[in-house]
Each structure stands twice: as C-alpha cells, then as structure tokens.
Amino acid sequence: MKTKKDIVQSVSEDKVRFISLELTDIVGQVKSIILPVNELPRCLEQGIWFDGSSIEGFARIAESDMYLMPDLDTYAVVPWSTGQERTARLICNVHTPDGERFVGDPRYVLSRTLSEAKELGYIFQTGPELEFFLFEPDQNGGMQPLQPHDQAGYFDVPTDLAIPIKREMVTALQAFGIQVEAAHHEVASGQHEIDFRYSDALRTADNAVTFRTTLKAVAQRNGLHATFMPKPISGINGSGMHTHMSLSDKKTGQNAFADPEDKYGLSDIAKHFIAGLLAHAKGMCAVLAPLVNSYKRLVPGYEAPVYLSWARVNRSALIRVPHAKVAEATRVELRCPDPSCNPYLAFAVMLSAGMDGVRRKLPVPAPKEENLYDLDAQKRNGLISLPGSLKEALDELEKDKVIRQALGEHVYRRFYHAKLQEWDEYRIQVTPWELGKYLAIY
C-alpha cells in the first residue's frame, strides 16, 4: 500500500502540476475537484471539503458539508495531460463532518458489502467485460443519424478502422495501472470490447469507472464519440457488461467455487451463489440495467438474456459457467448487466444476492443448455423472465429486501426516485415511432 510520502515523491518525480480528486454519484457519473499541486499535502492530511448537495443522490442542502479522502493506491498520472497541465488522478472516499464514511457514497456501499463477505471468510473477485460503440459526429458535432465508425464484424481485422484507436486506448488504460488482456471488434458495426484483468471487486469497480472516462477521452481526441449506451441502434446487438465472478477463501486464497469432481466443476458454495443470483435477479435488475434504454437490449435474439436460467455453453442463459482449464479459474458469468450501470452498486448487489444464496443454502435449479429463444411458447411459459422495462425493474427492486439492504436505505431511496423520475420523463414523450405509426391513419 502506498503512503503519503510515496504520493508526494511520485508527484515530484512525475512533474505533476494539478491533482484531480474523483468520486462517483449514485448513477455512476464521475465527478472531480481539481487542486493545484501545492494543496496536495493539506489534502492528504485533512481531506478536501465540498458541497455534497450538488451531487446526484448525496445529501440535502441542510446536510451538505462533506469531505474527500484520497485512496492513495489509486494514484495515476492522467496520460493525455502534459506540460503545465500535467495532472494526477486520485479516487476518493467520501466522509461526513464527524469523520464517518458517507453511506451515500457508492464506493462505500461496495466496501461495506465486501467487508461483510470477508467476515464470513470470503474475498469477492470480479471481471467485467465492457462493450462500447464508436460513432462519427457530423460536421457540426451532432450525432443524428448515428454513423458507426466502421462496418466491421466480430474479430474482423481489415475492416476494423478503430485498431489504431484501440491501441491508443490500451496504452492510456495501462498508464492508469489497468492490466489490459485483449481488445477486439464486437458483433455490431462500430462496436468493440477491451478486457482487463480479473481482480478483487473494489479494484475492478475503480477500473471500470476509469475505463469509461478514459475511452471517451481517447475517442474525443480522435474526433469520435464513444458511448456505453446499452442499445444505441435498434435491430443490432447492444452493449453488455458481462461480469465474471468468484469467491476465494480469505485464509488460503483458494477458489471457493471450484470442485474438480463436480460435473460442472462447481462447489456447493458456487451452486448456492448461483441460486442466490437467480433468486434476486429481478430485484437487482434496475441496478444492473439502470436505463430506460437498457430494456431494449434485454430482448430475445441478440445474445442478451431474458429468462432466469443458468448453463455452461448456452449464451441465452442469464448465468453461464465458462470452461475453466484449471480449478482456480472457476467462475460464473452474469450476462444481464450493461456498461451504463454504476459498477460499485452493481458489484455490491451481485455479491449480496449470491451470499444470500450461500447463507440460506438455496438449491440451484437444473441447467438449461438449449437455446431458450428457440423454445416453443408452451415451454417458455415455465420460464421466469427478467423485467421488461425500467418501471417493472424498479417495482421488483422495491420488493427485494436483500437488494435494498445491500444498497442501504439512503442509496436505495435516492436511486429509486431518480430512476422513477427518468421513467416518468420517458413515458410522457411522443416518439417518432408513434408519429410514423399513428399520425396518418388516426
């Protein structure tokens, strides 16, 4: 772990002139306060005060005073800052005036949930896979109609025009200390994926937030727009954030999900964890797929899950168990999250759902290896579906005590009402589809 002395020395060696203190609001948007470097010693000792009432979901005017304390292990020089603008980034924890961690800070929500799992003897590890689109703005900077940057397909090379841009993105991510494993073109035109190293959930949540801001910045510097919107274009694949996860034993470090003697290589703990994810899938869906637009991705036919099920090779299932060459690589993959979610809250509810299954020793149902979209209507009637809209997801969240408890009452209330307001704004809109469908004939 880095010390205050380490940070001061790094700032000097890196010739940093400014410090960017970063946090996220409840919907996962990054906020920052910029300090001149001479203010760093005071920041490291006392923190930096700010008005929490201005941050989405934080506090009311009467309780607005809060301060930021940097997590020293998140220090990194912003790779596109140079010369007199050279800036270092520190991700911060939010505190109340009495020195306590603020219950509305998404990073605290995840930290608290991880601590609860650790008390039971487990370390939670995750590996999110964030997909994104690159679009070309028009000559005026507008985005309508949407113009994908290329017309390439899955793993294509000659027609993937973004290869040099992805190399630049990988270099920038590495400058932030993110260990990138691979980058490739995805199924849809203009769609891509860059994967980074599996690790403990707090680190990967930090990395996911940094990932989004970094890719947007690099795209902008290349005259493009990167979006993590789940379904920007109808009729083609949307963007997911498939999340691989496992528990490791706190004492031995061994993978608690692995059992080489089992048909699927899964321990009883892993099966209970899967059962917990399935039991709370509907309740946590609003957190994992938090936009009105998210539910236009979660439809049959585009490799996005709709039904509550698990399997090994079936990509229409909600949970997949990827093949593991060695026991330590045993994990489960949850396929409904999308990259618009707040990673801190998403990982917190996933862990809470899975651990509820472990605590209660919930039995896992039989796997569904057939393509669920190809089943006839009668067979599909026996399957339970994810919510079909943001409003349905919010109704399920309201009923799920485990997921509400994972968020904490403060975050739950503010998240719920922010998203309900978003739904209400959407449902009163008159869309171009409605005008085209109805105007001429009614």
Output phi, psi for 18, to 5 deg. -135, 155
Q: Does residue 315 have an active-site annotation?
A: yes
**Token couple for 376:** 């006839």
How far is Cα 400 from Cα 286, in angstroms, rounded to an integer?
A: 11
**262 CB neighbour count, 10 Å cutoff:** 13
Q: Does residue 197 have an active-site annotation?
A: no
Q: Does residue 203 have an active-site annotation?
A: no
Helix residue ranges, H only, 143-267:
163-175, 201-221
CA 124 to the chain's CA centroid: 15
Which of 22, 25, 105, 131 is an active site residue?
131
How far is Cα 343 from Cα 91, in angstroms, rounded to an integer?
A: 14
Dihedral through CA 350, CA 351, CA 352, CA 358, nearest 10?
A: 120
Q: Does residue 100 have an active-site annotation?
A: no
How far is Cα 224 from Cα 221, in angstroms, rounded to an integer?
A: 7
Exposure of 120 by Cβ count < 10 A (0-12 exposed, 13-18 middle, 19+ buried)? exposed
Which of 25, 129, 259, 400 is an active site residue?
129
Q: How far apart are the first and last CA of the chain?
A: 68
Distances (CA, A) of 39 to 17, 19, 283, 346: 10, 9, 44, 34
How far is Cα 206 from Cα 356, in angstroms, rounded to an integer?
A: 25
Which of 51, 63, 138, 249 is an active site residue?
51
Find out whether 277 and 351 touch, Cβ atoms under 8 Å. no
Handedness of CA 414, 392, 387, 241 (dihedral sign): negative
Which of 107, 203, 212, 335 is an active site residue?
335
How far is Cα 268 from Cα 361, in angstroms, rounded to an integer?
A: 9
How far is Cα 50 from Cα 65, in angstroms, rounded to an integer?
A: 6
Find out whether 293 and 305 touch, Cβ atoms under 8 Å. no
Which of 105, 186, 206, 400 is an active site residue?
186
Which of 107, 185, 192, 242 is an active site residue?
242
Helix (H, G, I), strand (E, B) or coil at 98: coil
How far is Cα 157 from Cα 144, in angstroms, rounded to an integer?
A: 27
Q: Does residue 410 have an active-site annotation?
A: no
Which of 25, 105, 193, 396 is an active site residue?
193
Q: Does residue 333 have an active-site annotation?
A: yes
Q: Does residue 51 have an active-site annotation?
A: yes
Which of 112, 312, 315, 380 is an active site residue?
315
Find out whether 152 and 161 touch, Cβ atoms under 8 Å. yes
How far is Cα 328 from Cα 253, in angstroms, rounded to an integer?
A: 10
Active site residues: 51, 129, 131, 186, 193, 242, 315, 333, 335
